[in-house]
Structure 1
Amino acid sequence: MKLQPTLLALALALACGLAAAKTVRIANQGDAQSMDPHSLNESMQLSFTGNVYEPLVARDKKLALVPGLATSWKQTSPTVWRFELRRGVKFHDGTPFGADDVVFSFKRVAGEGSDMKSYVSSVKDVRKVDDHTVEIETVTPFPILPDVLTLVYMMSKKWCEENKAELPVDRRKGIENAASFRANGTGPFRLKERQPTTRTVLVRNAGYWDKVESNVDEVVFTPIGNDATRVAALLSGEVDVMEPVPLQDVQRLRSSSDIKLLQGPELRTIFLGMDQKRDELLFSSVKGKNPFKDKRVRQAFYQAIDIETIKTRVMRGAATPTGLMIAPGIKGFPGELNKRLPYDPEAAKKLLAEAGYANGFEVSMNCPNDRYVNDGDICQAVAANLARIGVKINLQAETKVTYFPKILSRNTSFYMLGWTPGTYDSHNALNALMATPTDKGQGQFNLGSYSNAKLDELTLKIQSETDQARRNEMIREAFKIHQDDVGHIPLHQQALAWATKKNVELVQLPDNFMFYKWIVVK
């Protein structure tokens, strides 16, 4: 059969496209723990599933808000937002996307087992207007609602019901369902293969609604926990992209003619939390009371930590010590408060003695060893610092696969956590990390249950305040209260370090998200 000119041109174009299609192999120190987009509020998890699932409101390469599965949104009253949904979008199984899926997804996010509740704690109701329009009503006026929704991914109501995945995978209880190992999103990539802790393969969604800048048609994601093995895999050509780059290998990779090193500041703050709720700590030599309820003990721990030595020796300079729970670049950041309490072991000993612990005490510390940059080493350094003031730390460093379920169930006395506000706004950290925990999602990651009624009151006011100057002053006041209480112990913002082969182009965002739709292999 003789092809007509237009058909011939189309055939040639398709052939060229197929020829240009590439596989990219990505290695990370840890794995995405589940394919369920509502199961874990962790940036690596949300980054990975964000290639398969999508939110109503998305972000561009500069983190500005752009239309996602909603083409537009507007406030119709102080507490009601109307979202116009994108037409013609289909889930990977061919099911059309519509308003019923949005209503279902919000209910799922707010429901039992969800780790994303804090993002919808301000939502009172989600209503279907028609198949392509929804209204979201908030409890109080909430001007930053679109910012909050960028990590609330939409799932198929039909698929979840058919696969008995109406509720999220509960990481705290170890309960799994079909959404753990399978996926059905609307995103530019769909799940082809899932082998937890070993290998996950994504392939391009041929029916994707938007233009994709990438020529990648397959992504092979491999967790490689050992630093040396991960670097060797990149240098040998076994993988094309790896992160994070071990700090001790930064210079080595920078000098390689075959490798590109991408470095930049990250918006994540690494901090330590303490159980301030129980009358007796779960894991401590102190019986009948809780030392962390005493501010003097919390301050003693803080002032015993040699943050500059951690920066220079453990982090090899790739960290910025901080006195706040958020990073510069987060909206409302009160820079004038960004001062740490001085490192002073003698003052720390005196505080402990005043609190009734002149001889110190023992307490367990939970820490991941494959989630943040040099996380296990940081915890070892903290333990050594605290030993100098008589506190014996029983360090339990473990893979994030077992670490997160443990601390998220609050089965901890002293722990490490890292946080990037998904909204890039100060309210997120106040609401999720510092406000008193409730069953609606407020304080969901305030795992030590720090509580201050005035901070709670300010957090609610900040949520609805539209005057920016007044809002910033309230943010400053709230962070000052938390700082004065030593509610947590902020450590530093870590630096990003990725490495790729020379022929790979990608976009490194300061929230450490990696979107495959922007990867080009030359």
Structure 2
Amino acid sequence: MKSWSFAMCLALAAGSAAQAQTLRWASQGDVQTLDPVSQNESFTNSVNGQIYDFLVARDKKLAIVPSLATEWKQDGPLKWTFKLRRDVKFHDGRPFTADDVVFSVQRSKLETSQIAQYANALGEPKKIDDHTVEFNLTQFNPIFLEHLNTVYILSKSWCEEHKVTKPQDFRNKEETFAARNANGTGPYMLVTRQPDVKTVLKRNPTYWGKFEGNVQDVVYTPIASAPTRVAALISGEVDFILDPPPPDLGRLRSTPGVKVIDGVENRVIFIGMDQARDELLYGSVKGKNPFKDLRVRRALYQAIDVDNIKNKLMNGQALPTGALVPSPVGSGNDPDVEKRLPYDVKAARKLMADAGYPDGFEVTMDCPNNRYINDERICIALANMWAQIKLKVKINAMPKVTYFPKTEKLDTSLYLFGWGGSTLDPEVTFTPIYRNRGEKGVGEYNRGNYKDDELDALAAASTREVDPAKRKELIKKVFLRHNEQVHHIPLHRQFIPWAARANVNVVHRPDNWLEIAWVTVKPTN
């Protein structure tokens, strides 16, 4: 948080006349970019989701429902046809047509898009007429509609006019018109964007959909400091915070005028390791890479007291897991998949000694400090636990705007990461995280850059298997192979309670998505 007066900023942002219908909200980090496919980060997606629409959307229970597409049909395993909503306008008045759909899907497939692996799974879009689009696939996609729910629809002519036909190259710090400007068909329109300071939206007066809430204006302010964020809510300077810190939940529950809205998030927190380089970029061992050795990866795993993290650091607001998938639904609630390696420091020390590191080694761990609940504190706790096996860990904590481009470049040796979203099917974890890095976004989030051909083949097969029973068998094999090789170290699925003023009613979705069109701010007088 910068040194400017928080109260002054809010006072300037929200006029008193519209106070009852203005939502002032905050969380620890900011939107990374307004280019809706440049960064696949949940918070960024959710804010862009107030401005832009998909062809299909999510309801309050995450089921797929019509949005810019009103109906669809599947003609065999490789063809889908969609009828588009008529009389829809972009925020600047341009008409929405099939040309915008085809353009947006193709734009989402480009190299600088972080949803390329999902967009490519949609096959080739084809305009039939202004309000009909056909998708032709080269292979069966068992979760086609889920993938379609990742592609925001942009105006083709607007992108051409402003030279943003390609997604912003966020990794290399490219600045584009679409990074700070927006033109969607969604319920809210961009008014002003000041990165790391304030983002202001207003209700779209020509929105095609329905508003269940009464919010006319939206003021989002990132507040990095947890105590400052909580104090702003208690004092009434903000109406809602997305990420109240776990230690403050008890106090917030007993504070007059404030309420806590509980819920579990579809998100798993985990550790990744560089398993590709012959020598770590940020380690003391020369001439070889300790993380290529399964014994070392397993030693790090077994030195983690995950229950201590859950109970003491997360105040019980976490669900330990051995499966790297956002929801237990994705693992089929299978105990074989969910089972963690046992916490056993003695066994971990033996593994380190057997691998040739009885005295440990030094390594730097990259960690965000404003993305996940207690992210930096988790990294510090892990460093202390790993000290028991003589691993000397230097924590390199940074804001997510710096952290994500760094890991995207594979400029890391050891890192903490989170993965979540709306889709419960494991496919949206397997292709970006489990598979070998390749073309068209495959393995994009395999930031440890490991190569496991057996795992890759199993995951690829599960992606195209038509028979549900056979696919279920393949999915389990993928999980068990990944767990056996300890390519990542799962920690827990985080709970994500929200906190609001008593006069604010919100709908808590398990993908941590605040849908502002559902929010009601009641007068306080």
Offset, 1:20: 9.8
Question: In the aligned structure 2, how far is the partner of 1:107 from the partner of 1:309?
Answer: 46
| 1:35-46 map, 5 Å | 35-46=34-45
Shift of 1:52: 0.3
**Amino acid across the alignment from 2:266:** L
1:423 is matched with 423
Shift in alpha-carbon separation, 1:175–1:327, aligned structure 2, 3 A: closer
Q: Verify the 8 A CA contact 2:268 2:327 in the aligned structure 1.
A: no
Aligned partners of 1:273 and 1:416 also within 8 Å: yes
Partner of 1:168, secondary structure, is coil
* Mapping 1:50-449, distance limit 5 Å: 50-336=49-335, 337-449=337-449
Q: Which AA in structure 1 matches 2:50? A: N
Partner of 1:507 in structure 2? Answer: 507
Match of 1:519 in 2: 519
Structure 1 stretch displaced more, 248-257 or 20-29: 20-29
Which is further off, 176-185 or 102-111?
Answer: 102-111
* Whole-angstrom distance in 2 between the partners of 1:139 and 1:223: 43
Equivalent residues of 2:261, 2:498 under 8 A apart: yes
- How many residue pairs get aligned? The number is 505
Q: Tell me, in whole angstroms, the C-alpha distance in 1 between the residues paired with 2:142 and 2:327.
A: 22
String of CA shifts for 1:369-389, please: whole Å, max 9, x gaps: 110000000000001111111
1:111-170 Cα offsets, whole Å, 9 max, x none, are 131111121232332211111111222231113100111121111111111111111112
Distance 1:61 1:130 in 2: 32
The amino acid that maps onto 1:241 is F
SS in 2 for 1:123: coil
Contact 2:57 2:65 in 1 (8 A): yes
SS for the counterpart of 2:140 is: coil
Write the letter of the residue equivalent to 1:374.
N
Distance in 2 between residues matched to 1:262 and 1:347, nearest whole Å: 41
Q: Is the 8 Å Cα contact of residues 123 and 139 (structure 1) preserved in structure 2?
A: no
Distance of aligned partners of 1:480 and 1:407 in 2 relative to their CA distance in 1, 3 Å threshold? same
Q: Could you tell me whether the CA contact under 8 Å between 1:436 and 1:443 is conserved in 2?
A: yes
Change (3 A) 1:334 1:481: farther
Structural RMSD (CA): 1.4
Q: Displacement, 1:207?
A: 0.6
Secondary structure of the residue aligned to 1:324 is coil
> Residues 181-216 of structure 1, C-alpha deviation per residue, up to 9 Å, x if partnerless?
100000000000101000000000001011111211
Range that drifts further, 276-285 or 52-61: 276-285
What SS does structure 1 have at the residue aligned with 2:403?
Answer: helix
| 1:442-493 residue CA offsets vs partner (Å, 9 max, x unmatched) | 1111111233222222222222323322222211111000000011000001
Structure 1 residue ranges (4+ consecutive) displaced by more than 4 angstroms after TM superposition: 18-21
Q: Is the 8 A contact 1:216 1:520 kept in 2?
A: yes
Give the letter aligned to residue 79 of structure 1.
L
Bigger mean CA offset, 157-166 vs 135-144:
135-144
| Counterparts of 1:36 and 1:338, CA distance in 2 | 36
Q: 1:520 to 1:327 in 2, by over 3 A?
A: same
- Could you tell me which residue of structure 2 aligns to residue 4 of structure 1? none
**1:55/1:150 contact within 8 Å kept:** yes
When structure 1 is superposed on structure 2, of 146-155 and 465-474 the one drifting more is 465-474
The range that moved more, 447-456 or 316-325, is 447-456
2:208 is paired with a residue whose SS is coil
Shift, 1:290, TM fit: 1.2
Deviation string 1:291-320 (CA, Å, 9 cap, x unpaired) is 111111100111111111111111111111
In 1: Cα distance, 2:82 partner to 2:268 partner:
32
Judge conservation of contact 1:326–1:333 (CA < 8 Å) in 2. Answer: no
1:230-269 Cα offsets, whole Å, 9 max, x none, are: 1111111100001201111100110012011011111100
Change (3 A) 1:331 1:357: closer
TM-score if structure 2 supplies the norm length?
A: 0.94
Letter in 2 for 1:423: T
Would you say the 8 A contact 1:284–1:362 is kept in 2? yes
**C-alpha displacement at 1:46, in angstroms?**
0.3
Q: Structure 1 residues 479-488 or 147-156, which shifts more?
A: 147-156
Please give the alpha-carbon distance, in whole angstroms, between the structure 2 residues aligned to 1:403 and 1:230: 22
Identity score, percent: 50
Match of 1:12 in 2: none
Name the aligned partner's letter for residue 189 of structure 1: Y
TM-score, normalising length from structure 1?
A: 0.94
Partner residue in 2 for 1:26: 25
Deviation of 1:288 (Å): 1.5
Aligned-partner Cα distance in 2 for 1:274–1:513: 29
**Following the alignment from structure 2 to structure 1, what is the Cα–Cα distance between the partners of residues 343 and 172?**
39
CA contact (8 A) 2:51 2:189 kept: yes
Residue 77 of structure 1 aligns to a residue in which SS?
coil
Contact 1:150 1:423 in 2 (8 A): no
In 1, Cα distance between equivalents of 2:28 and 2:502: 21
Contact 1:151 1:422 in 2 (8 A): no
